[in-house]
Structure 1
Amino acid sequence: MPEVIEPRSGVAFRLAKGQRLTVIDPQGEQVSDMLAFAQDDTREVISSGRSLDYASKLFLSTGDPLYSNRSNIMLRIVHDDVGRHDFLLTPCSKDTFRIIYGDEAPHRGCFGNLAEALAPFGIEPDQIPVAFNIFMNVEIDGSTGALTVAPPKSRAGDRIVFEAEMDLIVGLTACSALQSNNYAFKPIHYQVEDAPSATNR
């Protein structure tokens, strides 16, 4: 049975090389921020810049690798029902809600949730990079470069599957930003399994 991340919360866990992580949107239109750190040295971390640079595209999907800041492949996308995720925007935070939404008592956001979940692994808030924002739909104006956060394209039961290329510490959330989730907060499900053997793939 999948594990449940409650709305506006986050978790962290170990993912061994060769294992697969499935992230599921059980109700539809819910974003999940994902981070990855190398278990052997948490200074090695998932890199938006290197992943997008090496793929020469903004939208990563089935078959695409996610690189670290040291140009090592951390994860590879092996299945993707949606095909639209964001790798540009930083995890939402108290400052996001204060600056963008004008909240006077802002929620700590995905950044705060990830910081708390990753703390037992010795990972500090300043180590948190741009996340791979699963199911997040950011539209880009081709002439001005303006960014618009649109409703996710994911529907109930849609999933994405990653295979670990090294031993990892993974942070995962059910995103806390209203606009990202079409103005509703819902859970995220996830499951860790061993990859199928070559004969069963």
Structure 2
Amino acid sequence: MTTRTTPDAPGPHRLDPQTGTAFELRAGQVLRVVDPMGEQVSDLTAFSRDDPREWLSSGRSIDYADTISLTAGHVLYSNRSRPMFTIVSDDVGRHDFLYTPCSPETFKIIYNHEGEHPSCFGNLAEHLGRFGIAPDAIPTTFNIFMNVSVAPDGRLRIDPPASKPGDAIELRAEMDLIVGLTACSAELSNNGSFKPIDFEIRPPREGCDLGLM
């Protein structure tokens, strides 16, 4: 298992706790994200490689799936209503597409934390910057393994991730993408501790096509 933040090969790769990376993913390739120790969130975002003004959209994806519980068989759409990913397998079935990536302001406003604190937004901004993507362009992330429930009064509750050691999700790229990925830095999202995230870029699957929902 290699440890790096800028993958230069299919993998596997490991993101150390509270770190991130960015890389290109070609149409048809499958991104496999693994929680090696359990109860660790990974924030995912993506942009069209051909035009980074097209980005992964929480609103469009939830609209077209008619659910906030996105899992195997669902499509994640861009702000231009084009498929970006299809979820081809999912061991956990519990992820979040409501919360934005944690930022330095998150820790000041929610955690009353003063001083420096690693954040998913900071990690994404750093690594996506080398692709010319500005911080203000980073949208709401698909928060892999994050366990969020909605109460009848609309309040959100963050519970420990349901992921166990070795649980994974696989997402097939439906266009050429620039992808940002993190090992989340927010205490509440990860049941109070920070752990690594593993990922791998796999070639297109032969004879496996779920179709677009």
Interval of TM-score (by shorter of Structure 1 and Structure 2) = over 0.9
Which of residues 110, 114, 130 is equivalent to 2:124?
A: 114
Aligned AA (2:184): C
Q: TM-score scaled to structure 2, two decimals?
A: 0.92
* Cα-to-partner distance string for 1:57-109 (whole Å, 9 max, x where unaligned): 01100000000000000000000000000000000010000000000114140
Aligned residues: 200
1:179 corresponding residue in structure 2 = 188
Partner residue of 1:26 out of 3, 20, 36: 36
Whether contact under 8 Å (2:18, 2:118) holds in the other structure is: no
Structure 1: 5+ residue runs without aligned partners? none
SS in 2 for 1:97: helix
Q: 1:158 aligns with which of 161, 167, 172?
A: 167
Task: Return 5+ residue gaps in structure 2 as ranges.
Answer: 1-10
Partner of 1:55: 65
The yes-or-no answer on 1:89 pairing with 2:111 is no
Which residue of structure 2 lines up, in the alignment, with residue 73 of structure 1? 83
Q: 1:192 aligns to what?
A: 201
Q: Which residue of 2 aligns with 1:9?
A: 19
Conserved 8 A contact 1:98-1:106:
no
Task: Give the drift of 1:139.
Answer: 1.2
RMSD of aligned Cα (Å): 1.3
Once residues 49 and 209 of structure 2 are traced to their aligned partners in structure 1, the CA distance between those partners, rounded to angstroms, is 28
1:139 equivalenced with 2:149 (yes/no): yes
Select the residue among 117, 130, 136 that pairs with 1:126.
136
Over residues 107-164 of structure 1, what are the superposed CA-to-partner deviations in whole Å (9 max), with x where a residue is unaligned?
140000000010000000000000000000011102x101111100000000000000
Is the contact made by 1:135 and 1:154 (CA closer than 8 Å) also made in structure 2? yes
Q: Measured at CA, do residues 199 and 119 of structure 1 come closer, stay the same or move farther in structure 2, by a change above 3 Å? A: closer
Q: Which residue of 1 aligns with 2:108?
A: 98
Is the CA contact (8 Å cut-off) linking 1:25 and 1:159 kept in structure 2? yes
- Give the AA of the match of 2:54: E
How far is 1:200 from its partner? 11
State the secondary structure of the residue aligned to 2:61: helix
Question: Quick check: 1:97–1:106 contact (8 Å CA) kept in 2?
Answer: no
CA distance in 2, matches of 1:138, 1:199: 31
